[in-house]
């Protein structure tokens, strides 16, 4: 008898076909599950392919009886409590890699759009205000030759840094662990402490995973260290920024602008940010291309097949977040 799994969002047919080879598959064809609905939907199942960003907290983790593996179709995993799932003996994997270059492209697009006041100019045009020259109304700032500070220098941070060469931008970075000299050389990036980076950078870009330890990594104190002419870009996770402090800094002209693709309480956006002209807001789409999303989902499928003991990589899923649990299942 095949093990039963739940896929929480529709995937492309080729990926569902692959899952059907190994499992009795149920696909959620409706709206995104609430946590309570998810718990109900997985009764009697052994695996979950978490593809819709559903949240699993510590209380939910205790109620996932019979679940052996949760494979997340995303690089980020702050929507699940990995520690609690580990305590419940559930394997957890994520899917980093396929969207790295896609997100890096978007980061540069957001930075340029913000610097050149493109969102504000487009709104002005759509409102029918372009009846004569805009004059100096939308004079922005150049990106070329300015200083880029990247906080979080994993694969995405490095991809962003490599693109800076064409813009003749000095790159500073802050990371939990300093990179090797070879990687620093390829990225043409210089390591600084976080305070040093904040003081020196014209653009500060966040490209690190969320964890409890870096909750509100950018708050009132950090914003006060940045240049009033500086701009903040977040394509990582919303909880990294104190959004109330950011709104205050923008309102008080202590910061020139911000581009945010992620938010602490998605899909809710901190209300004060919605009314500010110097903010670019997008609905978590940095990795949203067909190629990238198919690649991410394909990794999640491979992970689930392997985590539940099938295929050529049985019991060897990639990007496992709690390998000790896998060892316990396989022993």
Give percent of the chain above pLDDT 70. 99
Asked about 237 being catalytic, the answer comes back as yes
Which of 162, 196, 266, 329 is catalytic? The answer is 266
C-alpha torsion 186→187→189→193, nearest 10: -110
Which of 116, 163, 284, 294 is catalytic? The answer is 284
pLDDT for res 328: 72
Give buried/exposed letters for 57-69 (b at 16+ CB in 10 A, else e). eeebbebbeebbb
Which of 237, 243, 264, 302 is catalytic? The answer is 237
- pLDDT tens for 9-45 read 999 999 999 999 999 999 998 889 999 999 999 999 9
Q: DSSP labels for 188-236? A: TEEE--HHHHHHH-SEEEE-----GGGTTSB-HHHHHHS-TT-EEEE-S
- For 29, phi then psi, to 5°, come to -100, 5
How would residue 330 be classed by pLDDT, with cut points 50, 70 and 90? low
pLDDT for res 331: 54
Neighbours of 196 (CB within 10 A): 15
Asked about 62 being catalytic, the answer comes back as no
Query: What span, in angstroms and rounded, lies between the C-alpha atoms of 171 and 88?
Result: 43
Record the tokens describing residue 259, joined without a space. 């581009």
CATH, domain 3-96+290-330, list 3.40.50.300, 3.40.50.2300, 3.90.1150.10, 3.40.50.720: 3.40.50.720
Asked about 126 being catalytic, the answer comes back as no
Query: What span, in angstroms and rounded, lies between the C-alpha atoms of 237 and 221?
Result: 19
- Sheet with 203-206: strands ordered across: 189-191, 171-174, 148-151, 203-206, 231-234, 257-260, 279-281
Q: Do domains 3-96+290-330 and 100-281 have the same CATH topology?
A: yes
- pLDDT tens for 257-278 read 999 999 999 999 999 999 999 9
What are the residue boundaries of the structural domains of the chain, listed by start?
3-96+290-330, 100-281
- pLDDT tens for 203-241 read 999 999 998 999 999 999 999 999 999 999 999 999 999
The average pLDDT across 321-331 equals: 80
**pLDDT, the chain, mean:** 96
Model pTM score: 0.93
DSSP label of 241: B
The average pLDDT across 132-145 equals: 96
CATH superfamily of 100-281: NAD(P)-binding Rossmann-like Domain (3.40.50.720)
């Amino acid at each position: 008898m095949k093990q039963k799994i739940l896929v929480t969002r529709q995937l492309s047919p080729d990926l569902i076909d692959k899952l059907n080879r190994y499992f009795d598959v149920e696909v959620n064809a409706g709206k995104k599950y609430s946590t309570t609905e998810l718990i109900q939907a997985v009764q009697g199942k052994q695996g979950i392919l978490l593809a819709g960003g559903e949240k699993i907290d510590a209380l939910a983790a205790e109620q996932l009886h019979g679940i052996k593996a949760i494979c997340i179709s995303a690089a980020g995993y702050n929507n699940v409590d990995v520690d609690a799932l580990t305590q419940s003996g559930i394997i957890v994997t994520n899917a980093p890699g396929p969207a790295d270059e896609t997100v890096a492209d978007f980061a540069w697009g957001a930075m340029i759009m913000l610097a050149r006041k493109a969102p504000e100019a487009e709104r002005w045009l759509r409102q029918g205000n372009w009846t004569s020259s805009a004059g100096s109304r939308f004079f922005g700032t150049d990106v070329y030759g300015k200083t880029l500070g990247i906080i979080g220098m994993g694969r995405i941070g490095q991809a962003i840094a490599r693109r800076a060469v064409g813009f003749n931008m000095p790159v500073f970075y802050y990371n939990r662990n300093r990179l090797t000299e070879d990687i620093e050389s390829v990225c043409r990036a210089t390591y600084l402490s976080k305070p040093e980076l904040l003081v020196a950078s014209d653009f500060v870009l966040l490209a690190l995973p969320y964890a409890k330890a870096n909750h509100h990594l950018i708050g009132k104190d950090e914003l006060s260290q940045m240049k009033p002419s500086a701009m903040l870009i977040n394509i990582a996770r919303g909880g990294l920024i104190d959004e109330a402090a950011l709104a205050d800094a923008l309102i008080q002209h202590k910061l020139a602008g911000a581009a945010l693709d992620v938010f602490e309480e998605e899909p809710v956006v901190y209300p004060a940010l919605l009314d500010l002209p110097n903010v670019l807001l997008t609905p978590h789409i940095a990795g949203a291309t067909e190629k990238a999303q198919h690649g991410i989902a394909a990794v999640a499928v491979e992970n689930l097949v392997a985590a539940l003991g099938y295929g050529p990589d049985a019991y060897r899923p990639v990007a496992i977040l709690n390998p000790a649990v896998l060892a316990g299942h396989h022993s």
